[in-house]
Amino acid sequence: MILALSGLDAFILGALGVSLPVIAHLMNRRTRRWVMFPSLQLLREATAQQSTLFRLRKWLLLMLRCAAVMLLAAAFARPVWTAARGDVDTSGGEAVVLVLDVSASSAQQSGGVTVAHHLRAAAEARLDALRPGVDSAAIVYADANPSAPFTRPVPNLDVLRGELDTLKPTQQRADLQGAITLAASVLESAKGARRIVVLSDMQQTNWAEVLIDQSTLGGSGNATRVEVQPVTPTGGATGNVALSRPAVSPAHPIAGRAARLSCSVWNYADKAATVTVSLAVDGREVASRPVTMQAWSQEAVTFETALATAGAHGVTFAITPDTMPVDDRVSLGVDVVERVPVVVIGDDDPAAPTGASYFLERALAPRRGADNDLEVRHLRGDAVTATALSGVEAVIVGDVGLLSDTAVTALRDYVASGGGLIWLCGDGPVGLNAGALRRAADGGLLPWQPLGVSSAGNDSTGVGFDGDAAWATAPLASFDALSEDALLRVRLGRVYDVGEVNDDAHTLLRLADAARTPALSTMGYRDGRVYMCNFSPSPRTGDLGKHGVFVALLHALVDAARTTNDTRRTAAVGRPLRIDIPYTALPDESAGRRFRTTGPDDQPVEPLVSTDDTGVTLTLPRPTAAGLYRVYVNGGATPVAIGAANVDARESDLRAMPTDSINDRITGIGVRVDVAGNAIDPGSADGRSTRRATGDEREGRPLWPWLIAAACVLLGVEMALIGWWRR
């Protein structure tokens, strides 16, 4: 037997109750005073015998009263009886598992009542339809990580009703397929009839990914009956306006310089809608803008604003709450820097005007001292490691010798994690290095494979650029007519023949030769991007480095390479949120690093902490709330990094899948789609038990009725004894 005590209140109630008979017993005791009467001395022996019998009677009544009060107190604690674990014998009844879709869409409201309220009423109605003491049931919550409070069907339906009293919508996307599979595993131990009842708002974007077949039900097989009961708001699904896709460009803005902060506004409704989108930085509203959208359309909203100070900032976009408030806000963590770190890789002397590094570094940082937007670092080819590239926003490969495997791997991983790579074809083993990098990325990463030096630039006049270029696409989009003309006047003395071109490559600029050889191409690789240039500022390959337009072109390339949004610090609620912090943003390890992470409610959360050559990674396996997650180190008051969890954008489309289409998602098993769920009255749960199940309560048969009956029996025995003794 497991006693599911209701807590300290039940204990205090029992203690007070047991004390009442004891107090009454003590109050009935008489104070003794000895008075000697010689004529009564012969009665002492008889009086002593009667006094002993009287005391025994009083103690017996005291024990009966105490036992009755203890039984009543135990009944208030609602104990249950748990049989030995094993198969649940439902041969005389049915085992039912209720799968409750508590995804974010269950928070939608109609008339002030949420779908979750309808869901609770429908689930309680299902429990009421079961036969107490005969049928058994269990519950599975369908969210991003389906869970079951009970590992097997239980006959104690009151406990399940108490569990339903805690039901509320989550901010997660439902894994209905996983929830139904979990329900089937809960039923594996049950004997006799088995049934899975899915209670859902039938959101189309969720059900489109569900396919129920024999593999879903596992060992349950054809013995399990599946029912799908739609539970929708009163009057049907409502329209919804939602925010999604928060972004910042560039990924790490420079302090005091304008950055583009944007999000998407979606109108999931049959009529046009106008909303006001507000932008808040670190909790302070800085801008707002009205947006009008047609039915079933989306608009991108962009704010240009300067973030004054370097460091981590929390950005939130919001609209006025509507029928589904959970998707009316989206957040983003933004790292603002004083200067943008850029690495130039080259084996030539950056101080000598004979190689590419000299012209690259002076074009990137033309002003002396720290009065430059870019912080340029020079690395030799043999110094390229993952640690050296940590926190760098753009990497430029110039005149470099043969790269080692370590350097090739570091460059590949840098781009894969969101970095921007600019590859210049100048002096050195260009083809060998490019081939090694393409092989390390399984044929991807670089837009094309450079071969040998082309004959196009070998004559005295060299070769120029073709005017038919992608002038409207970054990085060329920043060029005006004069800059375009200046670029077309440049002559290149050495260019390379191009071999295999990747299918995902996009050529922005071509050479004005007979083959229209690619001169500037780009390609995305995982989270990063590569720009490949069939030219170099080295004086041995032409006079490009001496033209002013080269400075504009190089800065445009760096800006384009670093505009990739930092998606590593955003995640959908319920999915892993990873916050990468480079070592450059942390105090020296000798001072120790003690991390503290807080959630949207400023309460502490516990992340998983790992380290590698580039920095520290904090991972929140399953953030449960949308909003900003801040990371502090060594007790500091200013966060060193900020991540964000947002509601999955697919949860915002509230359209329900037609009931007739459900059968297309279920194959090879007997299924009944119950459409009566639409008529569930949210008030029908009134009068049912609203007791909240306690943490210690477990599956089993309730014992409190038997305890009350036993207490009544003891009180009856007491009254019978008193009446007999009086006669």
- In this prediction, residue 224 has a pLDDT band, given cuts at 50, 70 and 90, of confident
The torsion defined by the Cα of 61, 63, 64 and 65, in degrees rounded to 10, comes to: 90
Percentage of the chain lying above the pLDDT 70 cut: 82
Smallest Cα–Cα separation from 627: which of 223, 246, 227, 249?
A: 246
Q: What angle do CA 606, 611, 616 make, to 5 degrees?
A: 65
Smallest Cα–Cα separation from 227: which of 262, 191, 271, 193?
A: 193
> Positive or negative, the Cα torsion across 151, 156, 162, 168?
positive
Residue 587 has what pLDDT?
A: 81
Question: How does pLDDT run across 107-159, given as a tens digit for each residue?
Answer: 998 888 899 999 999 999 999 999 988 899 999 999 999 999 999 999 999 89
Q: What is the spatial distance between Cα 229 and Cα 558, in angstroms, rounded to a whole number?
A: 55
- Report the amino acid identity of residue 376: V
- In this prediction, residue 701 has a pLDDT band, given cuts at 50, 70 and 90, of low
- Token readout for 461 is 């006049």
Verify cis geometry, omega within 30 degrees of 0, for the bond prior to 576. no
Q: Under a CB-based contact definition with an 8 Å cutoff, are residues 333 and 314 in contact?
A: yes
Question: How does pLDDT run across 349-403, given as a tens digit for each residue?
Answer: 999 999 999 999 999 998 876 678 999 999 999 999 998 998 899 999 999 999 9
User: What string of DSSP letters covers 494-558?
Assistant: --EEEEEEPTT-EEEEEBSSTT--EEEEEEEETTEEEEEES----TTSBSGGGSHHHHHHHHHHH
Q: Which helix (H) or strand (E) holds 157?
A: helix 157-164
Question: How does pLDDT run across 305-349, given as a tens digit for each residue?
Answer: 999 999 999 999 999 999 899 999 999 999 999 999 999 999 999
- DSSP category for residue 386: T
Verify cis geometry, omega within 30 degrees of 0, for the bond prior to 475. yes
Place of tokens 């009703």: 161
Q: Under a CB-based contact definition with an 8 Å cutoff, are residues 4 and 79 in contact?
A: yes
Percentage of the chain lying above the pLDDT 90 cut: 61
Give the count of beta carbons closer than 10 Å to the beta carbon of residue 257: 12
Contacts of 137 (CB under 8 A, 6+ apart): 95, 96, 97, 98, 126, 127, 130, 153, 154, 157, 160
List, in sequence order, every residue forming a beta bridge with 260; answer none if it has no partner: 249, 304
Residue 651 has what pLDDT?
A: 96
Place of tokens 């001496």: 546
Smallest Cα–Cα separation from 540: which of 495, 497, 487?
A: 495
Q: What is the spatial distance between Cα 142 and Cα 104, in angstroms, rounded to a whole number?
A: 11
- Report the amino acid identity of residue 388: A
Q: Does residue 522 surpass a pLDDT of 80? A: yes
Q: Does residue 484 surpass a pLDDT of 70? A: yes
Q: What is the spatial distance between Cα 427 and Cα 80, in angstroms, rounded to a whole number?
A: 82
- In this prediction, residue 174 has a pLDDT band, given cuts at 50, 70 and 90, of very high
- Phi, psi for residue 344 in degrees, rounded to 5: -110, 120
Contacts of 552 (CB under 8 A, 6+ apart): 478, 479, 483
- In this prediction, residue 718 has a pLDDT band, given cuts at 50, 70 and 90, of confident
Q: Does residue 90 surpass a pLDDT of 50? A: no
User: Measured over all CA atoms, what is the biggest interatomic distance in the chain, rounded to whole angstroms?
Assistant: 153
In whole angstroms, what separates CA 212 from the centre of its chain? 26
- In this prediction, residue 527 has a pLDDT band, given cuts at 50, 70 and 90, of confident
Q: Does residue 53 surpass a pLDDT of 80? A: no
Q: Under a CB-based contact definition with an 8 Å cutoff, are residues 364 and 312 in contact?
A: no
